[in-house]
């Protein structure tokens, strides 16, 4: 037997027992007459003690040879510790070692395996297996496992069946690029890795499985933005004979279950707002509603022939940065530079400062009377001490610019508390969005999403106005899930492909299997997928998903530990029939 106990469980109730522990040497503290070792495993740390009086000489000599991260087995007696450590569960005891065995030696690790490490990101990723020995990373993986367990339990109890779908498939239309895998047995042909199991879960509904879920890897070859992974995990679900309301209730229930079990929090019904409203009030379809700073449209107040920039703008819109009237000129200049950066692209920032003493100062004093500015303060419900920040321009653009400013201010004002949770549903997404790049409409969610029945007649006349039965679950400014009611009528699906610019041959080649299945009694169905990595990270009080993934890729999509992607041998290329030709 390698061990009788773990390094996290012994306490004063075990005093007197002889135990065997196994683990890694975290630290050796040698005072000459006495030597302590912190022995670590997944469960915690237990102190081993050797001293001149009670330990025989050869054993003490043996202990002196141990280095950091050696794997050892120690047999000894649990004794009361002289100087106790109240910070760890085993802090009242130590093990007086009688026998020691080195199970494996270790090189000195390239960074310290402590909660606070001296290792930089790149180095920790290269030696991820050492990084995972550290509590902050290990605890996140344990937490992830717990979330997965709760999800499985909840959905199983709700009657969902976990079904695996294949990974070697063909293109899925989630709007990203596919990762492809060449087929050796079918030369010149390729599988695509699933961007999601979308088509398969719909086929499972046609197959009568009724309630499906899967915690599943998905792959999207997108240009990597910070904190995006080319392979990520979804909680993927589909249900038959349901309407949007049923899906929202089921998954709101699941989210509430997670909040309760993981954070001890209870929630009322999640607020719901439409996409149009989200854009109007927050300039964003995934609003962070932990704080206010809602948009206030100021066209009536400020587009009146006084200031050319505003007069020419489609939309003049502001936010109230409460308590920020004390911002210095320098701070406001800095915010102005911030919104003018190319990433944001605003022409400038106008402020109206409502000073504590009741006076008003703005950057447009020469264009507006005090009465006009007072109207702005009224409309934005400003109090003395508040600062109104205003942007103007084309409506869509200015909304997204102000949304970025709102989030930046919230960050600076510490309004994005990771231990506060504000979930909501955003519903009634547009069915289509115009792609300038492709000069055609593309599906906002995916091509299987059903238009709202009352908007179907607009599909031919004003496709951009058609709303979909599509919904997102939003948490703290992140889209944590999205789904839709599906089209289950073959003709409507054909019409949708047509709107998206698929020729009937293309539609047939890509999705013929699904269209064909629709001929055999497809039930009404709807579903959702939740981003498991992100959801877990947020529930864990963090926004960075990387540490909740055992072996993540870096920002260039590389696994620096195994060095992937990498080139392959010519022979392998030849076998696949994709030899690099001149």
CB atoms near residue 381 (< 10 Å) = 12
Cβ atoms of residues 318 and 399 within 8 Å: no
CB atoms near residue 305 (< 10 Å) = 8
Beta carbon of residue 566, minimum distance to ligand ASP (angstroms, whole number)? 29
- Closer to ligand ASP at the Cβ: 49 or 235? 235
User: Buried b / exposed e across 409-448, counting CB within 10 Å, b at 16+?
Assistant: bbeeeebbeeeebbbbbbbbbbbbeeeeeeeebbbbbbbb
CA 521 to chain centre: 37
Beta carbon of residue 45, minimum distance to ligand ASP (angstroms, whole number)? 42
Beta carbon of residue 350, minimum distance to ligand ASP (angstroms, whole number)? 38
Q: Is residue 527 at the binding interface for ligand ASP, with CB under 6 A as the rule?
A: yes
* Residue choice 528, 537, 539, 545 for contact with ligand ASP (CB under 6 A): 528
Site for ligand ASP in 23-42 (CB under 6 A): none
Strands (E) across 17-104 are located at 18-30, 34-41, 44-51, 71-80, 93-104
Q: Which region among 67-75, 82-90, 329-337, 526-534 touches ligand ASP (by CB under 6 A)?
A: 526-534
* Residue choice 91, 119, 482, 552 for contact with ligand ASP (CB under 6 A): 482
Beta carbon of residue 237, minimum distance to ligand ASP (angstroms, whole number)? 7
CB atoms near residue 141 (< 10 Å) = 16
Beta carbon of residue 530, minimum distance to ligand ASP (angstroms, whole number)? 9
Beta carbon of residue 201, minimum distance to ligand ASP (angstroms, whole number)? 7
- Closer to ligand ASP at the Cβ: 242 or 528? 528
Q: Which region among 115-123, 208-216, 479-487, 539-547 touches ligand ASP (by CB under 6 A)?
A: 479-487
Residue 64's Cβ-count burial label (10 Å; 0-12, 13-18, 19+) is: exposed
CA 134 to chain centre: 22
* Residue choice 483, 493, 500, 549 for contact with ligand ASP (CB under 6 A): 483
Q: Which region among 94-102, 160-168, 481-489, 544-552 touches ligand ASP (by CB under 6 A)?
A: 481-489
Beta carbon of residue 227, minimum distance to ligand ASP (angstroms, whole number)? 18
CB hemisphere CA count around 166 (13 angstroms) = 9
d(Cα 539, Cα 150) in Å, to the nearest integer? 13
CB hemisphere CA count around 405 (13 angstroms) = 35
CB atoms near residue 449 (< 10 Å) = 22
Q: Which region among 13-21, 63-71, 245-253, 480-488 touches ligand ASP (by CB under 6 A)?
A: 480-488
Task: Find the Cα–Cα–Cα–Cα dihedral 38, 27, 129, 46, rounded to 10°.
Answer: 0
CA atoms 30, 35, 38, 39: torsion sign: positive
Q: Which region among 294-302, 341-349, 422-430, 527-535 touches ligand ASP (by CB under 6 A)?
A: 527-535
Beta carbon of residue 449, minimum distance to ligand ASP (angstroms, whole number)? 7
Q: Is residue 198 at the binding interface for ligand ASP, with CB under 6 A as the rule?
A: yes
Contact characters 439-478, ligand ASP, x per CB under 6 A: ----------------------------------------
- Closer to ligand ASP at the Cβ: 318 or 482? 482
- Closer to ligand ASP at the Cβ: 532 or 548? 532
Residues binding ligand ASP: what is the number (CB under 6 A)?
9
- Closer to ligand ASP at the Cβ: 143 or 518? 518
273 forms bridges with which residues in the sheet? 426
d(Cα 109, Cα 101) in Å, to the nearest integer? 21
Q: Is residue 173 at the binding interface for ligand ASP, with CB under 6 A as the rule?
A: no
Beta carbon of residue 535, minimum distance to ligand ASP (angstroms, whole number)? 13
* Residue choice 47, 90, 196, 536 for contact with ligand ASP (CB under 6 A): 196
Site for ligand ASP in 174-193 (CB under 6 A): 174
CB hemisphere CA count around 70 (13 angstroms) = 19
Beta carbon of residue 452, minimum distance to ligand ASP (angstroms, whole number)? 16
* Residue choice 55, 392, 484, 536 for contact with ligand ASP (CB under 6 A): 484
Beta carbon of residue 90, minimum distance to ligand ASP (angstroms, whole number)? 45
Question: Could you give the C-alpha distances from 125 to 85, 121, 231, 293, 573, in angstroms and in order?
Answer: 32, 6, 16, 38, 29
- Closer to ligand ASP at the Cβ: 174 or 261? 174
| DSSP letter assigned to residue 261 | I
Beta carbon of residue 193, minimum distance to ligand ASP (angstroms, whole number)? 13
- Closer to ligand ASP at the Cβ: 47 or 172? 172
* Radius of gyration in angstroms for the set of CA atoms belonging to the chain, rounded to a whole number: 30
Q: For residue 138, which of 550, 570, 569, 552 has the smallest C-alpha distance?
A: 550
Cβ atoms of residues 55 and 75 within 8 Å: no
| Interface residue list for ligand ASP (CB under 6 A) | 174, 196, 198, 482-484, 527-529
């Amino acid at each position: 037997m390698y061990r009788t106990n773990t390094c996290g469980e012994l306490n004063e109730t075990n005093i007197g027992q002889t135990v065997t522990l196994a683990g890694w040497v975290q630290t050796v503290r040698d005072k000459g007459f006495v030597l302590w070792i912190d022995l670590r495993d997944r469960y915690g740390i237990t102190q081993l003690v050797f001293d001149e009086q009670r330990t025989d000489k050869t054993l003490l000599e043996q202990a002196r040879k141990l280095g950091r991260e050696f794997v050892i087995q120690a047999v000894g007696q649990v004794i009361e510790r002289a100087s106790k450590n109240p910070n760890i569960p085993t802090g009242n005891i130590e093990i007086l070692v009688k026998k020691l065995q080195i199970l494996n030696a270790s090189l000195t690790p390239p960074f310290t395996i402590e909660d606070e490490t001296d290792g930089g990101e790149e180095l920790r990723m290269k030696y991820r297996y050492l990084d995972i020995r550290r509590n902050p990373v290990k605890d996140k993986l344990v937490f992830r496992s717990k979330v997965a367990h709760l999800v499985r339990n909840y959905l199983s109890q709700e009657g969902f069946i976990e079904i695996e779908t294949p990974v070697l498939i063909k293109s899925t239309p989630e709007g990203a690029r596919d990762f492809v895998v060449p087929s050796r047995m079918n030369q010149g042909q390729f599988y695509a890795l699933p961007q999601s199991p979308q088509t398969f879960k719909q086929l499972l509904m046609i197959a009568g499985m009724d309630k499906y879920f899967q915690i599943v890897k998905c792959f999207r070859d997108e240009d990597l933005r910070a904190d995006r992974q080319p392979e990520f995990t979804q909680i993927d679900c589909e249900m038959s004979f349901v309407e949007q309301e049923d899906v929202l209730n089921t998954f709101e229930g699941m989210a509430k279950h997670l909040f309760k079990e993981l954070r001890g929090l209870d929630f009322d019904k999640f607020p719901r707002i439409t996409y149009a409203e989200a854009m109007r009030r927050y300039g964003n379809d995934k609003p962070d509603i932990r704080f206010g700073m809602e948009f206030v449209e100021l066209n009536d107040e400020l587009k009146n022939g006084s200031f050319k920039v505003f007069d020419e703008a489609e939309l003049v819109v502001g936010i109230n940065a409460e308590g920020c009237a004390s911002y210095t000129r320098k701070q406001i200049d800095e915010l102005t530079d911030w919104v003018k950066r190319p990433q944001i692209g605003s022409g400038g920032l106008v402020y109206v400062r409502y000073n504590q003493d009741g006076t008003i100062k703005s950057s447009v004093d020469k264009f507006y009377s005090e009465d006009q500015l007072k109207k702005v303060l009224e409309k934005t419900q400003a109090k003395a001490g508040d600062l109104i920040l205003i942007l103007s321009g084309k409506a869509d653009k200015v909304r997204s610019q102000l949304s970025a400013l709102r989030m930046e201010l919230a960050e600076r004002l510490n309004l994005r508390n990771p231990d506060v949770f504000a979930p909501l549903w955003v519903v009634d997404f547009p069915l289509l969005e115009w792609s300038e790049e492709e000069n055609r409409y593309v599906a906002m969610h995916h091509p299987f999403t059903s238009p709202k029945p009352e908007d179907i007649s607009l599909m031919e006349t004003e496709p951009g106005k058609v709303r979909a039965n599509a919904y997102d679950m939003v948490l703290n400014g992140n889209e944590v899930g999205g789904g839709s009611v599906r089209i289950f009528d073959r003709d409507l699906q054909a019409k949708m492909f047509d709107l998206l610019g698929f020729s009937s041959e293309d539609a047939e080649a890509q999705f013929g299997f699904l269209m064909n299945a629709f001929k055999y009694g497809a039930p009404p169905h709807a579903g959702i997928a939740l981003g498991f990595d992100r959801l877990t990270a947020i529930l864990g009080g963090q926004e960075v998903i990387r540490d909740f993934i055992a072996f993540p890729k870096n920002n260039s999509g590389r696994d620096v530990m195994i060095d992937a992607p990498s080139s392959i041998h010519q022979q392998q290329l030849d076998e696949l029939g994709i030899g690099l030709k001149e």
